[in-house]
Copies of this chain bind each other. A is one copy, B any other.
Amino acid sequence: MNKPQVLKSAIVEVEFGQKVKVIEPVNLYGCKIGEQSFVGPFVEIQKNVSIGERCKIQSHSFICEMVSIGNDCFVGHGVMFINDLFEGGQPAGGNKGLWKATKIGNHVSIGSNATILPVNITNRVVIGAGAVVTKDITESGVYAGNPAKKIRNL
């Protein structure tokens, strides 16, 4: 019988601001989490991710490499970020030159179970629960659906 290599989720080489609160189990490594932010249980945040101040990253969310999030943002439960569009019809694998970045502004609130492809989202945006964001959002407002479209002004 083969035995797998088993590693444990952990908090490794994370740069925390003051007064951050984390509920384990989480898998956080090589990222930066600003002061007074919160990270709920069952969350994974990968290396080089930057999260601003006073953010809430709720349970069951996954934030991948090449994502940066501003201040006063809310990432709901079960939100998934993406950096690999499977260009060429398959995962980029180790070829990070094919990965794309996501930049989230300030005061952005993302509803639970939303999916965020690699995009830029401007300040003061609400993403509805269950939305799939496939394009840049350059105008403040409320966006929902699959694919996400603007449904009203803020």
Contact = CB atoms under 8 A, between A and B. Distances in A.
Interface of A: 1-9, 11, 15-25, 27, 33, 35, 39-42, 44, 56, 58-60, 62, 64, 74, 76-78, 80-82, 86, 89-91, 107, 109, 111-113, 115, 117, 124, 126, 128-130, 132, 142, 145-147, 154
B4 A22 contact: yes
Contact of A146 (B22, B40, B145): B145
Tell me how many chains of this kind the complex includes: 3
Contact of A111 (B40, B44, B86, B113): B86
A86 B86 CA distance: 33
A16 B1 contact: yes
A22 B44 contact: no
Given A7-B21, A62-B78, A90-B109, 20 more contacts: A2-B16, A5-B19, A5-B20, A6-B11, A6-B24, A7-B24, A23-B27, A25-B41, A27-B41, A44-B77, A59-B62, A60-B60, A62-B77, A78-B80, A80-B113, A82-B111, A89-B109, A90-B107, A130-B132, A130-B146
